[in-house]
Amino acid sequence: FPEAQPVVLDENRRSRAAILECASAVIENNPPVDCWLGTPKRKFQRNPLKSARDAEDCKARRPVLNNPVELVAVADSLEEAAEVAQTAQRLQQERKSGAGQGKFAFAAGGEGPVPFGVLYRAHTNRGELVRELERRGVAYCVKGIDALQTRQGRDLLASLRALHSPYDSGSV
Higher pLDDT, 98 or 17: 17
pTM, to two decimals: 0.55
Confidence band of 161 (pLDDT split at 50, 70, 90) = confident
Residue-wise pLDDT tens digits, 111-160: 666 677 777 766 777 888 999 999 998 888 887 777 777 777 788 888 88
- Read off φ and ψ for residue 53, nearest 5 degrees: -65, -45
Beta bridge mates, 36: 43
The per-residue DSSP string of the chain comes to -TT-------EESSS-HHHHHHHHHHHTTSPPP--EETTTTEE------EEHHHHHHHHTT-----PPPP----SSHHHHHHHHHHHHHHHHHHHHHT---GGG---TT--SPPP-----SSGGGHHHHHHHHHHHT------SS-GGGSHHHHHHHHHHHHHH-TT-TTT-
| Residue 139 CB-density burial (10 A; 0-12 exposed, 13-18 middle, 19+ buried) | exposed
Residue-wise pLDDT tens digits, 44-72: 788 889 999 999 999 999 988 777 888 88
